[in-house]
Amino acid sequence: MTVAEMRRTYLSKATEALQPSVTEEVDNEVKRMRQNGIDDIVSLGVGEPGFDTPDHIKQATIRALMRGETSYQPTKGAFALREAISAKLDAENDVKADPEDIIVTAGGKFAIYLAFQATLEKGDKVLLLDPAWVSYESAAQMAGADVIRVPSVPQNGFKPDLENIKGAIEPGVKIIVVNSPCNPTGAVFPRDTIRQLAELAGDNQALLLSDEVYEYQLYEGQHYSAASDFDNVITVNAFSKSYAMTGWRLGYATGPKDVLEGMLKIYQHSTSCVTAFAQYGALDALTNEASKKVVEMMQDTYRVRRDLMTDLIKKSEFLKLGCVPEGAFYCFVAYNVNLPSFDLAKRLLQKAHVATVPGVAFGKCGEDHLRLSYAASEEDIREAFRRMEHYFRKIK
């Protein structure tokens, strides 16, 4: 018997315990099916804008590449980009962050990973709303921490229930995560609620991690950045959804100095920096006036698609929308088919060639729900609903 055969696995226990990201698995499965020649899949599964990156951003990146922006950048990010992020945070979010207190990361996801790695250890806890974006729990787990989940319910528009959250606070809670606009529910949290969560975190010597990656996908209400009023806040944002740049892997974070210093050390020893020329595309996204029009166009388009999807849900015998999404680009729908969400999503993909994400991927409270993305064309949304309704009727 070889050494390899004698070992059950080479993986650490911690890695073995990690669950794969369901959203990425759905996307990979769609790509695999397409690769195998199944070319009629309609995807409401993806969490990315249904747009290409605007041309002016691509052109700026090509120019940067051709003038030789190809070497290591400061780990925190190119200075000009951090200056532009600092100006954006000041002008749009009323957040005062010196360029030295900003870290440009490989997507918002890596900023969250770094923040958790830098601050959490065994015995610490992260408080999440349930349902919550798929990667918070795994990021906490990778840092050795546990997660406490507090349900947010459709009757309450999936908004945080402050009394329940206060009741769930226990020794060891080090981070409360706020994600507004929220993936997967589309809820936009009231300013007062976010303020109270930041205060609650402060009263418990904890941090608020404010994940604002859907800031520009906002259809009702106003965006509020807790870091404008509180200093125990790590703000995470990204270019991914804002400028249709998911594949570029560009995000950023700002927060308390010691947290940033910790994040930076981990970053220096793991990734060094984000791709140099891509950072100049991000700089153009922030500084070129043409971006404003594109952001507006995308927001208007998503609003139309949201209205279309909510209308189709209202007409469905099988789907029920707990609350109309106010932001992001997802409808989080309950269904009355007698199957766990994982099985239903799998069957919809295999039998109806419609990709969705099972609600349970976002936590126990997400069971009996599907997340449907309306970052798809109107034609695709209509076709997906035709197929889903047909399939539901067949299996009922």
Task: CB nearer to ligand PLP: give 77 or 107.
Answer: 107
CA atoms within 13 A on the CB side of 181: 24
In the complex, minimum distance from the CB of residue 138 to ligand PLP, in angstroms, rounded to a whole number: 12
Q: Map residue 36 onto helix, strand or coil.
A: coil
Which pair of structure tokens corresponds to residue 248?
């570029």
As measured in angstroms, the least distance from the Cβ of 7 to ligand PLP is 33
- Integer Cα distance of 175 and 133 in angstroms: 15
Q: In angstroms, what is the minimal distance from the CB of 331 to ligand PLP?
A: 15
Quick one: which of 204, 22, 13 has its CA closest to 127? 204
Comparison of 58 and 382: residue with beta carbon closer to ligand PLP = 58
* Pick 133 or 335: Cβ nearer ligand PLP: 133
Return residues touching ligand PLP (CB under 6 A): 47, 107-109, 133, 179, 183, 211, 213, 238, 240, 246, 251
In a 13 Å sphere around the CA of 332, the CA atoms on its Cβ side amount to: 31
Query: What whole-number distance in Å separates Cα of residue 378 and Cα of residue 390?
Result: 18
- Name which of 204 and 356 has its Cβ closer to ligand PLP: 356
Which residue has the closest beta carbon to ligand PLP?
A: 107
Distance in Å, CB of 218 to ligand PLP, minimum: 14
Q: Which is nearer to ligand PLP, 252 or 392 (CB)?
A: 252
Say what the alpha-carbon torsion angle 117, 125, 222, 248 is, to the nearest 10 degrees: 30
Give CA–CA dist 247/260, Å, rounded: 25
User: CB within 8 A of 187, min separation 6: which ones?
Assistant: 152, 157, 158, 159, 180, 181, 323, 325, 326, 327
Report how far residue 301's alpha carbon sits from residue 309's, in angstroms, rounded to the nearest whole number. Answer: 12
Closer residue to ligand PLP, CB minimum distance, 109 or 174: 109
Least distance in Å: CB of 71 to ligand PLP? 24
What is the rounded distance in angstroms from the CA atom of residue 341 to the CA atom of residue 366? 8
Closer of 27 and 380 to ligand PLP (Cβ): 27
> What is the smallest separation between the CB atom of 383 and ligand PLP, expressed in angstroms?
24
What separation in angstroms does the CA of 372 have from each of 3, 276, 319, 359, 378?
46, 35, 11, 10, 13
| Separation CA 193–CA 272 (nearest Å) | 37
The least distance separating ligand PLP from the CB of residue 245, rounded to whole angstroms, comes to: 8
Residue in this structure with the two tokens 């388009």, named with its chain if needed: 301
Q: Residue 27 Cβ, how far from ligand PLP at the closest point, in Å?
A: 10
| Selection from 25, 40, 39 nearest residue 387 by Cα | 40
Identity of the residue, 125 or 241, whose beta carbon is nearer to ligand PLP in the bound complex: 241
